Structure 1
Amino acid sequence: MKLLTGNDLPTGDVIWWTGSEWSRHVEDAADVGDQGEAILQAEEGARHVNGPYLIDATATPEGPRPAHIKDRIRALGPTVRPDLTLKPADPDVGNWVI
């Protein structure tokens, strides 16, 4: 399974390709298969995402799980403060005040 990830241009948030748009939740990510590179180039060219790249993942009942620890951390948030981790379908995502 291949996923496409990158960063949202306005906010810098980690985002995942869903098959039709971008989401801040890895659970929404879709397997891009052999289409990954073409989607990556089109989305980066359209300035919808910053620094997109393809990663390996495994399908689980809870949704895709990135294969590499770096991408698992990107998907779930900081490892030192569990209260700051990104929760699935968090209604406040994108409304954080820093």
Structure 2
Amino acid sequence: MRILTGNDLKSGDVLWWTGNGWSRHVEDAADVGDAGERLAREEEAARRVNVPYVIDAAATPDGPRPAHIKDRIRALGPTVRADLTLKPADPNAGDWVI
């Protein structure tokens, strides 16, 4: 599985391509297959995301799991304090999609 990630231009938040837009939750990420590099170029040219790139991930029952530790950390949020991590059940975080 290959997924597309990047950062929001305004906030710097980590974003994941859902197949039709961007989400802050890796669980929403869609498999981009061989189209990932093309999508990354298109999204960056349209100025919807900063420095998008394709990563390898494993499909799990809970959604994609990035293969590399760097991207797993990006998916989960800050590692300093557990209360700062992004929680999918948080009603204030779930609806933010561009």
TM-score by length of 2: 0.91
CA distance in 1, matches of 2:93, 2:73: 17
List runs of 5+ in structure 1 lacking aligned partners. Answer: none
Deviation at 1:54, TM superposition (A): 0.7
List runs of 5+ in structure 2 lacking aligned partners. Answer: none
CA distance in 1, matches of 2:70, 2:91: 25
Deviation at 1:78, TM superposition (A): 1.5
Secondary structure at the aligned position of 1:37 is classed as helix
Deviation at 1:80, TM superposition (A): 2.3
Aligned residue for 2:28?
28
Deviation at 1:89, TM superposition (A): 4.5
Question: Percent same amino acid among aligned pairs?
Answer: 77
CA deviations over 1:29-73 (Å, ceiling 9, x no partner)? 000000101110100000000011110000000000000000000
Deviation larger for 55-64 or 75-84:
75-84
CA deviations over 1:64-90 (Å, ceiling 9, x no partner)? 000000000000012221111001142
Secondary structure at the aligned position of 2:55 is classed as strand
Aligned residue for 1:76?
76
Deviation at 1:4, TM superposition (A): 0.3
* Structural RMSD (CA): 1.2
Aligned residue for 2:91?
91
**Contact conserved, 1:2 with 1:33, CA < 8 A, in 2?**
yes
Aligned residue for 1:16?
16
**Contact conserved, 1:25 with 1:89, CA < 8 A, in 2?**
no
**Contact conserved, 1:5 with 1:15, CA < 8 A, in 2?**
yes
CA distance in 2, matches of 1:38, 1:28: 20
